Amino acid sequence: MIRLKSGIRILLFLLISASYAQDNSKILSLNGGHIRTRVTLYNHLFSAVGGENANLGGSLTESGVTALFYNPALTSTYQRPTGFLELSPGYGIDVGSLGDINSHVKSSTDAAIQEYKDQSILLTYPFVQSAYKTKTRLNAGGLIVPVKDWVVGAYFYSPLDLQLDGLVTGSAAQINSKLVVSDDEDDVFFNGFVNGHINFHTGLFASGLNISRQFSRRWSAGFLLRYYRFSAHSDGLMNVEGTMLYGGRENTFKDPNDNWHNDLDQAVDAQFKGKDLGWSVGALYQLDENISFAALLDWMPDITASGHLHIVNNRVPALNLDTVTGDSDGEIFQAEKLKLSQLTLTETIRHQTFSQLKLRLPKFIKLGAGWRKGWFSASLSYSYGFSPLSFVYGKDEIGIKPEHRLTAGLDFKYVQAGLGFLTLKKFSNGSENLGTEPQHFILPVFTLGSFFKFKEDYTVYVSLILDPVPAIKLGYGYQF
């Protein structure tokens, strides 16, 4: 993804893109304005839903009320119809309280304008507010019914829901340049103002069927079929206003009296939808009354979504954008491309777009072991991911690949806890530079929760999960 430093430079590009800056170009004033960002994320791709299995770090051997999400073979022991629902309560975190974001913004701004700022610059740094929020919502539900020697079920859940919102207000800049025309030197002053927003939402919803059977005293197996529906939507507009003062005359961008293109606005509109099938097959082996082993192959699909992407990208023809973003050396503007009779002349850049967007979902092989003695139990779970969670658009792909996940869980009857780690690889590749070289991360996995039964038929559970995104999950189960 674009680093903060590059992001600041791109914001500056919007402010100075009508100025014909050369070596003697100077930013006389800069007001970074107010930048607000908000992230809303629900993630069940790694931790599935809550419950006893989740509380133990993703146990493949404990037969909890939501066990079918962790190993469909576990439902083979159900003797009565069982239903469940799960909620996630909403909460919010001020990301700024976790670290001094604005200090980093200041240093990034200084680095971005170092070559162009005037010594007496009037500088107001961008003020950034960032929040992580969730809303109370229904996450999952299902019904499992024994039918003779088999156990069948139906369920739904939301594996992924991501919302990104950004708002920029009050950004402004004044730039002065010296232009030489026929041996005469004169000043050019540009005043620019930026206000805008961008929103991005992607959601993945799954529903399906489960079937399992206990084939012997020791062996059980189960199969889970999933039907996925995927959607992605984005809309954004950067409203760029500006004027150019040259030779005692003020020229205004977007002037309707001009007979040339003079718009500096930037916009994006995208909508994609797709669907596909995935599945899981799991097995459970009961060595004796205390020890059990499990294996699972979780095969999530690559979903090809159809739709559109429309981009409006206006710029001054003389602009060398690679210099502004730090990707190359040279002049910001190329003087030979200037047209002094049309100082506000802009052009619309055409981008290649595609009618399909692919969402690649991770596929896992998982192994587990469990030991139970009376009311106490312990479990160990390992998974290996051999495909990424990524977006593919044209030749470009960006995403993360969950590689290894190892967790251990302990059940103390009324309290369950899990601890482990997850290794991720961030990557990007394709026809454009979408980010840095592949990076590897080791993230902690922590789970804590409780479940209890009352009146024999009712089960209530609460799960606090960090895997790798924090989540609180509340669930209710009932045996008919």
pLDDT in tens, 119-156: 777 788 888 888 888 888 888 999 999 999 999 999 99
Burial 235-254 (b: 16+ CB within 10 A, else e): ebebbbebbbbbeeeebebe
Strands of 215-316, DSSP E: 219-246, 249-252, 266-286, 291-299, 302-315
Mean pLDDT: which of 174-188, 368-382, 427-441 is highest? Answer: 368-382
- Residue 189 pLDDT: 75
* Secondary structure class of 77 (helix, strand, coil): helix
29-77 confidence digits (pLDDT tens):
888 889 899 888 877 776 668 888 889 988 999 888 888 889 999 999 8
The fraction of the chain above a pLDDT of 90, given in percent, is 46
Task: Report d(CA 276, CA 439) in Å as an integer.
Answer: 30
pLDDT above 50 (res 299): yes
Task: Report d(CA 388, CA 383) in Å as an integer.
Answer: 14
User: What separation in angstroms does the CA of 346 have from each of 234, 236, 262, 462?
Assistant: 25, 20, 5, 57
332-342 confidence digits (pLDDT tens):
555 556 677 88
End-to-end CA distance of the chain: 50
Count of the separate structural domains present in the chain: 1
Residue 202 belongs to what domain range? 4-479
- Residue 21 pLDDT: 41
Q: What is the CATH number of the domain that holds 42?
A: 2.40.160
Polymer length of the chain: 480
- Residue 4 pLDDT: 44
Least reliable range by pLDDT among 83-92, 107-116, 429-438: 429-438
Task: Report d(CA 108, CA 105) in Å as an integer.
Answer: 5
Please tell me what DSSP assigns to residue 350. Answer: P
Least reliable range by pLDDT among 124-138, 367-381, 397-411: 124-138
pLDDT above 80 (res 167): yes
pLDDT above 60 (res 325): no
Task: Report d(CA 20, CA 240) in Å as an integer.
Answer: 17
- Residue 285 pLDDT: 97
Tokens of residue 68, six digits = 């079918």
Strands of 416-457, DSSP E: 416-429, 439-454
- Residue 227 pLDDT: 97
Task: Report d(CA 259, CA 190) in Å as an integer.
Answer: 21
Per DSSP bridges, beta strands 26-31 and 117-124 are: parallel
pLDDT above 80 (res 401): yes
Q: How is the chain split among helix, strand and coil, in percent rounded to 5?
A: 10, 60, 30
Q: Are 78 and 222 in contact (CB under 8 A)?
A: no
Task: Report d(CA 179, CA 187) in Å as an integer.
Answer: 6
Task: Report d(CA 452, CA 51) in Å as an integer.
Answer: 10
Residue 187 burial by Cβ neighbours in a 10 Å radius (0-12, 13-18, 19+): exposed
Instruction: Identify the CA nearest to 160 among candidates 375, 364, 387, 361.
Output: 361
pLDDT above 70 (res 432): no
- Residue 131 pLDDT: 87
Least reliable range by pLDDT among 226-240, 241-255, 316-330, 345-359: 316-330
Bridge partners (DSSP) listed for residue 273: 231, 306
Task: Report d(CA 331, CA 25) in Å as an integer.
Answer: 10
Distance of CA 110 to the CA centre of its chain: 28
- Residue 344 pLDDT: 86
Mean pLDDT of the chain: 84
Considering only residues 310 and 467, tell me which one the structure prediction assigns the higher pLDDT.
310
- Residue 431 pLDDT: 55
The phi and psi torsions of 87 (rounded to 5 degrees) equal -120, 150
- Residue 177 pLDDT: 65
Considering only residues 20 and 141, tell me which one the structure prediction assigns the higher pLDDT.
141
264-275 confidence digits (pLDDT tens):
899 999 999 999
- Residue 20 pLDDT: 41
pLDDT above 60 (res 433): no
Residue 111's identity, in one-letter code, is: A
